[in-house]
Amino acid sequence: MPRLEGGGWWSLPGTRSCGFLECAAAPRQPSGPADRWCCITVNATTTDPRLDGRPVKRIVYDPERIARRVRDLGAEITAAYPDGTLLVLGLLKGSFIFVGDLVRQIERPIQIDFLVASSYGHATTSSGDVRLVYDPETKLEGKHILLVEDIVDSGRTLNRLMDLLSTRRPQSLEICALLHKRTATHLRYPVRFVGFDAPNEFLVGYGLDHAENFRHLPYIASLQ
């Protein structure tokens, strides 16, 4: 079985060893940074022991592509902020890997804290019921707050959290999302920093879960 750089084992019948990088569909028209767009479609079965036999439809973002985009996002954030305290506020649990990588690409002083909201339970669609389980301990007043989310789907989670954080009198309040499905009809706030415009599929890996599984995948895959 071929070994993928970054540690994964792959079996991709009928393709080369890193066959999931081959495109079987035309790319969507880019209107932003090229790396934000997803164009990888492979009908192949991947076998990775981390998946515990669960088939994935395709690998949407491989580790190298994620790393490149996170590096660029870090540079964008570094350039965007004026002087003052910048607090990166990660939304757990989905953002834990993204925040860990992102903050090391931000070349200015920052503080880091987390919030925990619970929304989906074990389902793959939004219930709209967003519950705050852990509130940041750090004072937010007078700081630049960058709320970091793994993925924007309906936008309900962000609406709830942004409403709440606005009341804490931050100097500025912005959103950074690794993935944006662009289906967020309910979202009342702009997403200032976006990693990738994601397909409207259920994605796992790089922090994203399905019923608490698959968060540790070093790539982002679409579940069957």
Which residues are annotated as catalytic? 153
Per CB under 5 A, contacts with Mg ion among 75-104 are: 94
Q: From the list ligand IMP, Mg ion, none, which binds 48 (C-beta under 5 to 8 Å, kind-based)?
A: none
Q: From the list ligand IMP, Mg ion, none, which binds 202 (C-beta under 5 to 8 Å, kind-based)?
A: ligand IMP
Residue 71 vs 93, nearer CB to Mg ion? 93
Which ranges of the chain does DSSP label H, i.e. alpha helix?
63-80, 96-103, 156-166
* DSSP character string of 192-220: SEEEEE--SS-EEBTTB-BTTBSTT-SSE
CA dist 23 and 217 (Å) reads 21
Q: From the list Mg ion, ligand IMP, none, which binds 46 (C-beta under 5 to 8 Å, kind-based)?
A: none
Residues interacting with ligand IMP, by CB under 6 A? 94, 119-120, 126, 149-157, 202-204, 208
Residue 77 vs 184, nearer CB to ligand IMP? 184
Residue 17 vs 183, nearer CB to ligand IMP? 183
Which of 165, 199, 207 is closest to 25 using CA atoms?
199
Between helix 63-80 and helix 96-103 the angle, nearest 10°, is 60
- Phi, psi values for residue 176, rounded to 5°: -120, 125
CA dihedral 129, 95, 122, 192 (to 10 degrees): 40
Q: From the list ligand IMP, Mg ion, none, which binds 81 (C-beta under 5 to 8 Å, kind-based)?
A: none
CB of residue 7 to ligand IMP, shortest distance in Å: 22
CB of residue 220 to ligand IMP, shortest distance in Å: 9
Residues in touch with Mg ion (CB under 5 A) = 94
